[in-house]
Amino acid sequence: MNTEMNIWNVKFEDIIYNSSGPECTTLAHLNALWASSSSAIMIKSCSPEPRDGNPTPRYVETDLGSINSMWLPNLWYKEYIGYIPKLKQDYKKPVVCSIVGFKPQDFYDLVTAFQQDSDVDMLEVNLSCPNVVGKPQIAYDFEASEEIIKNICAIPGDKPIGLKLPPYFDPIHVDAMANIILKYDIDFVTCINSVGNTLIIDPETEQPLIKPKGWLGWLGWDYIKPIALANVRWFYKRIWHKTKIIGCGGIKNGVDVFEHLLAWASIVQLGTILAKEGPGCFARISREFQEYMDKKWYTSLDEIIGNLKEL
């Protein structure tokens, strides 16, 4: 089956690439993604200054997935902007960059820099980050989100721009975010970021798994797939006519990719599995997806995307 996908004229050779986070921070990570079967190179959420992130242990894998409290370690946006031409020298695939800010002006400055002074193909704005003290993370603060979205959409530039959203657990919140997205030129949304503020306890040691932030962390993989699928579907119902949806959360094999597409993702990202298995996961999962489609006699992505059957 042909699995090429166009997201607003950015051409992906396949529907699977990495999510921003695991194994995409250092230049060596980005080179490994360049050499892998990932259909794009997604760069770690970058900030106005370099960041070391939280003390360790801050990322731990379990049988069901991962928990992390990284606190956005990254090289800084200028380092990535400087390296993108190298990644595109023998052009193999699009480069997507995630950006993050700690105040509204950061988002404006970083989107301006990437839109106007970079060779990036697509921009993902990570709204799952802290806002002012006493307020929830930005994507749960709809007033703050609208202010940022309005400002970044007004910046001249031709790079498609999307939002990385946290999971929502109530349809009223999905309505609130979808209504903002529909007011502005958001080209895609990526559902979902890790599920935050969770505690995993090791009964043997009687300790939590990670140290920072009162031992609470963010979950990925099996723990979160049903939440990711629900968010893809919820946003599909509200914004499908205007905005593409990128599925992320809980993908470890070809069948998981299929489920995200049925829910209405056009293309998917892999997070924890890349950390667990390394860059070989892209070719394996892509092959498994093809095999599963052959078994089901599907011949095109159009037959699958959004076609979850009624019950």
281: part of which helix (H) or strand (E)?
helix 280-295
Three-class DSSP category at 43: strand
2 burial level (CB within 10 Å; 0-12, 13-18, 19+): exposed
Active-site hit among 24, 129, 191, 248 = 129
Told to check if 160 binds ligand FMN by CB under 6 A, we report no
Integer-rounded Cα Rg, in Å, for the chain is 18
Of residues 308, 291, 154, the one with CA closest to residue 230: 308
The mark string for 84-123 relative to ligand FMN (x by CB under 6 A, - otherwise) is --------------x-------------------------
* 129 catalytic per annotation: yes
Count of residues that bind ligand FMN according to CB under 6 A = 27
Please identify, using beta-carbon distances, which residue of 44 and 159 lies nearer to ligand FMN.
44
Told to check if 33 binds ligand FMN by CB under 6 A, we report no
Told to check if 251 binds ligand FMN by CB under 6 A, we report yes
Told to check if 231 binds ligand FMN by CB under 6 A, we report no
Told to check if 149 binds ligand FMN by CB under 6 A, we report no
Please name the residues in contact with 244: beta carbons below 8 A apart, sequence gap of 6 or more. 7, 8, 162, 187, 188, 189, 266, 267
Give, as ranges, the residues between 189 and 218 that touch ligand FMN (CB under 6 A).
193-194
193: part of which helix (H) or strand (E)?
none
Q: How far is CA 223 from the centre of its chain?
A: 16
Told to check if 44 binds ligand FMN by CB under 6 A, we report yes
Options 32-40, 142-150, 208-216, 266-274: segment touching ligand FMN (CB under 6 A): 266-274
In 22-103, which residue ranges form alpha helices assigned H by DSSP? 27-35, 77-87
Contact residues for ligand FMN, defined by CB under 6 A: 19-22, 44-45, 59, 66, 68, 70, 72, 98, 126, 164, 193-194, 220-221, 224, 248-251, 270-273
